[in-house]
Amino acid sequence: MRRALLIARRELGASLRTFQGYLIIALVLAVDGLLFNAYALSGVSKRSSEVVSLFFLFSSGTTMVASVFISMRLLAEERQAGTLPLLASSPVKDHEIVLGKFLAALVFLSLLTLSTVFMPLLVLVHGRLSLGHIAAGYLGLLLLGSASLAIGTLGSALARNQVLAAVFSGCMLVALLTCWWLARITEQPLSDVFGALALWNQHFPPFQAGVVHVRDVVYYLLVTYVALFAATRVLEARRWR
């Protein structure tokens, strides 16, 4: 774990020491701000809880997109630059490499996500809402982001370069997102399986409404775990491929 944290620290430092890291945060903030003003605040006067709910709705979209862009470089960049064998020849285990890089990406995504917190808090100026609702929404965003990042890490482990990694991650995310549709057209028990697998439709709306279900928290943690486990196995596969 210590080595994983070392890798995480190094990776995070690399992200925050370059201007590109701040550029990504600023871009996401601007997009979130635009969507917040265009959809949550515009038109007829909306109720406070509706405004906050809409904010979390589109923030979930930007979080997933940001996750793909943050994670695409994690392992694919090392492979592209030819530094992966160097990393593999160090005394660091594969799962530590994956975990370290994922943790760094997660901290970066958390910084990015939490930097938008002033938007729902603006509602407090002219409306009324509970801080619990905001906390639940951000917990949902962080869990969704964690699951998306883990899937992105798997995509990055599978791909030879960053573009392919983004494509792989995007495809896996879309596949998981469209599970809700498969759940609608299939019969039980397949519909139950697809329904439970749906990345957004089944599990995010409660967070958006300020309700925390243990089943949703567990789902996102399990997706994170399985995707990181698979990424580790894929990284290990270079030894026997």
Partner 1 sequence: MTSGPSPASGVSALYGGALGVLLLGERVAGGGRARLGLGALGGALLVLALLWSRARVGRASGEGRVLERWRGRLFLLGALGVGLHFLRAEGALHALGPEWTQRVSVLVPVLLVLALGPLGWLEWAVGGLGRAPVLELGRVRAALRAGLGLALALVFAFSTQYVATRLDVSWDLAYFRTTRPGEATRGLVRQLRGPVEVTLFFPPANDVGQAVAQYLRELARESPLLVVEVLDQAVEPGRARELGVGENGSVVFSRDARRERLKLPLDLPTARGALQRLDEEVFRRLREVSRPRRVLYLTTGHGERSLRARDATALEGATPGMSRLEEWLRVLNVEVRPLGVAEGLETDVPGDAAVVALVGPAREPSAAELAALRRYVERGGRLWLALEPDGPDLATLLEPWGLRVSGVPLAHAQRFLRQSHQRSDHANLVTSTFSPHAAVSTLAALGAEASVVFSGATALEVLQPLPRDVTVDVTVKAAPETFQDGDRDFTAGPEEPRSAWPLAVAWERKRPGAAASRVVLLGDADVLTDAAPRGYGNAYLLVDTVLWLLGEEALAGALSNEEDVPVRHTRRQDAVWFYSAVFLAPALVLGVGGLVTRRRRGGRR
Q: Which of 11, 12, 32, 72 touches partner 1 (CB under 8 A)?
A: 32
Q: Which of 23, 81, 121, 163 touches partner 1 (CB under 8 A)?
A: 23
How many residues at the interface with partner 1, by CB under 8 A?
A: 68
Q: Which is nearer to partner 1, 23 or 86 (CB)?
A: 23
Type of residue at 78: E
Taking residues 131 to 150 in sequence order and writing x for each that binds partner 1 by CB under 8 A, - otherwise, the string is -xx-xx--------------
Binding segment toward partner 1, per CB under 8 A, in 1-9, 66-74, 84-92, 218-226: 218-226
Q: Which of 1, 82, 89, 187 touches partner 1 (CB under 8 A)?
A: 187
Return the closest-CA partner of residue 212 out of 135, 108, 129.
135
One-character DSSP codes across 51-68:
HHHHHHHHHHHHHHHHHH
Q: CB within 8 A of 143, min separation 6: which ones?
A: 207, 216, 217, 220, 221
Q: Which pairs count as long-range contacts for 202-205, CB under 8 Å and 24+ apart, including other chains?
A: 203/144, 204/60, 204/140, 204/144
User: Could you tell me the smallest distance in angstroms from the CB atom of residue 240 to partner 1?
Assistant: 3
- Does residue 81 bind partner 1 (CB under 8 A)? no
Q: Which of 7, 21, 106, 183 touches partner 1 (CB under 8 A)?
A: 21
Binding segment toward partner 1, per CB under 8 A, in 38-46, 69-77, 163-171, 175-183: 38-46
Q: Which is nearer to partner 1, 2 or 126 (CB)?
A: 126
Q: Which of 108, 194, 200, 219 touches partner 1 (CB under 8 A)?
A: 219
One-character DSSP codes across 85-129:
HHHHHSS--HHHHHHHHHHHHHHHHHHHHHTTTHHHHHHHHHS--
What's the Rg (C-alpha) of the chain?
19
Q: Annotate 184-210 with b (16+ C-beta within 10 A) or e (fewer).
A: eeeeeeeeeebbebbbbbbbbbebbeb
Q: Which is nearer to partner 1, 120 or 152 (CB)?
A: 120
- Does residue 47 bind partner 1 (CB under 8 A)? yes
Q: Say if CB 145 and CB 69 are below 8 A apart.
A: no
Return the closest-CA partner of residue 148 out of 88, 203, 106.
106
User: Could you tell me the smallest distance in angstroms from the CB atom of residue 193 to partner 1?
Assistant: 8
Binding site for partner 1 (CB under 8 A): 16-19, 21-23, 25-27, 29-30, 32-34, 36-37, 41, 45-51, 115, 118-119, 122-123, 126-130, 132-133, 135-136, 186-187, 189-190, 196, 205-206, 209-215, 217-219, 222-223, 225-226, 229-230, 233, 236-237, 239-241
